């Protein structure tokens, strides 16, 4: 598991260090550095997929397209020294020092490391990144995939479930309480039922078309509806599937990066998503999530109070903000802590306080 990341002269960060836990919640206004934090990790991942020795940094690739080197250097850098440094929980170390060349998108690197690349979960085959832009409801989904990952947009989710949904076992603490089966497909179904009050999924392989078909049913106490096409059911039900599958299939030590898990979800489902994220962390999964949802945060807080995870210190919150310092803007990052009762010790201006501000204006 990643324990620390340090960035120097990377995008909006002059020199910053983050301590990481099992859950790492990134919050803040748009354009304040949340995505840049994630991009630093994705940059390493896509670079090692192209060069297993990480002798070059690939700014264009499978996960992100950042432009030229001049587009990623800190605007007011005193020199052109770029650094990305990682530490894991066993004190393995990786330092990546690109040789800056403003007009290039492939940068030669100098590497310092203690341990092997395989000791960092960002390079693990089980790594998953689910972006904010995901698959939308459609009648059929491709069953052709050449890897076991869900895809940045979750485009391989349906074929993954069809192929492996009845072979992968979900960790006990990630299963819906009281459910009888721990297979991935059953647990996805059980969590959909909780998220959307009765919805169930049905995936069928269309072998001759190299595709899979997705339908939903509504299950009541004494009634099961007819199958309904995904395009005729709520947008958010399909949109959340890649996030749900990525979290449920993850094992101890795996890294899952998720952008906006709350997208297209109603408030109750957003809160439950916070609980699922915390449950994943409780079995040793490392989750990095970017979110604008106070409901997701509250789901995590409630889960801590309920004892889903054994220590609140495994949850790290980072609030990114741009502050006017007279000669321009500077990114500042706060780190509010959550205690065992779910209380937060620091509420910087703008940190999930818009509801309180609206109530004050209303009354």
For residue 258, is pLDDT > 70? yes
**Residue predicted with more confidence, 140 or 124:** 124
pLDDT tens digits, 28-60: 988 889 999 999 999 999 999 999 999 999 999
Contact (CB, 8 A) for 282 and 173: yes
What's the predicted TM-score (pTM) here? 0.93
What pLDDT does residue 295 have? 95
pLDDT tens digits, 141-185: 887 776 789 999 999 999 999 999 999 999 999 999 999 899 999
Compute CA distances 113 → 37, 52, 96, whole Å.
21, 14, 9
What pLDDT does residue 326 have? 62
What are the structural domains, with CATH classification, of the chain? 1-126+250-363 (3.40.50), 129-248 (no CATH)
For residue 4, is pLDDT > 80? yes
Q: Mean pLDDT, to the nearest integer, of 198-211? A: 79
What pLDDT does residue 173 have? 95
For residue 357, is pLDDT > 90? no
Q: Mean pLDDT, to the nearest integer, of 237-260? A: 96
What pLDDT does residue 336 have? 95
What pLDDT does residue 328 have? 62
pLDDT tens digits, 283-307: 999 999 999 999 999 999 999 999 9
**Residue predicted with more confidence, 130 or 135:** 130
What pLDDT does residue 38 have? 97
Contact (CB, 8 A) for 317 and 335: yes
pLDDT tens digits, 293-344: 999 999 999 999 999 999 999 999 999 998 776 666 778 999 999 999 999 9
């Amino acid at each position: 598991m990643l324990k620390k990341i340090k960035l120097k002269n990377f995008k909006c960060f002059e020199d910053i260090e983050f301590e990481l836990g099992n859950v790492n919640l990134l919050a803040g206004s748009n354009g304040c550095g949340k995505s840049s934090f994630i991009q630093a990790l994705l940059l390493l991942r896509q670079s090692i997929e192209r060069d297993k020795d990480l002798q070059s940094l690939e700014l264009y690739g499978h996960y992100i397209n950042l432009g030229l080197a001049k587009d990623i250097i800190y605007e007011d850098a005193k020199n052109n020294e770029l650094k990305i440094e990682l530490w894991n929980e066993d004190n393995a170390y990786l330092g990546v020092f690109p040789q800056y060349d403003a007009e290039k998108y492939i940068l030669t690197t100098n590497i310092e490391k203690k341990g092997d690349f395989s000791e960092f979960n960002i390079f693990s085959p089980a790594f998953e990144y689910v972006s904010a832009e995901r698959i939308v409801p459609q009648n059929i989904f491709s069953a052709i995939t050449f890897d076991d990952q869900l895809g940045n947009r979750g485009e391989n989710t349906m074929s993954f479930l069809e192929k492996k949904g009845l072979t992968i076992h979900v960790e006990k603490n990630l299963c819906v309480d009281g459910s009888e089966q721990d297979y991935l497909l059953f647990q996805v179904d059980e969590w959909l039922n909780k998220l959307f009050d009765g919805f169930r999924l049905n995936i069928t392989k269309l072998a001759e078309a190299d595709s899979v078909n997705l339908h939903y049913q509504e299950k009541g106490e004494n009634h099961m509806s007819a199958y309904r096409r995904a395009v005729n059911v709520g947008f958010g039900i399909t949109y959340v599937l890649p996030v749900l599958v990525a979290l449920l299939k993850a094992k101890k030590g795996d890294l899952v990066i998720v952008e906006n898990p709350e997208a297209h979800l109603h408030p109750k489902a957003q809160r439950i998503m916070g609980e699922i994220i915390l449950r994943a962390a409780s079995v040793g999964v490392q989750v990095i999530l970017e979110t604008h949802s106070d409901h997701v945060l509250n789901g995590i807080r409630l889960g801590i109070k309920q004892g889903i995870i054994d220590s609140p210190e495994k949850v790290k919150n980072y609030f990114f903000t741009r502050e006017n310092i007279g000669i321009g803007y500077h990114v500042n990052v706060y780190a509010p802590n959550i205690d065992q009762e779910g209380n937060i010790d620091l509420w910087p201006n703008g940190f999930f306080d818009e509801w309180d501000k609206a109530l004050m204006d209303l009354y």
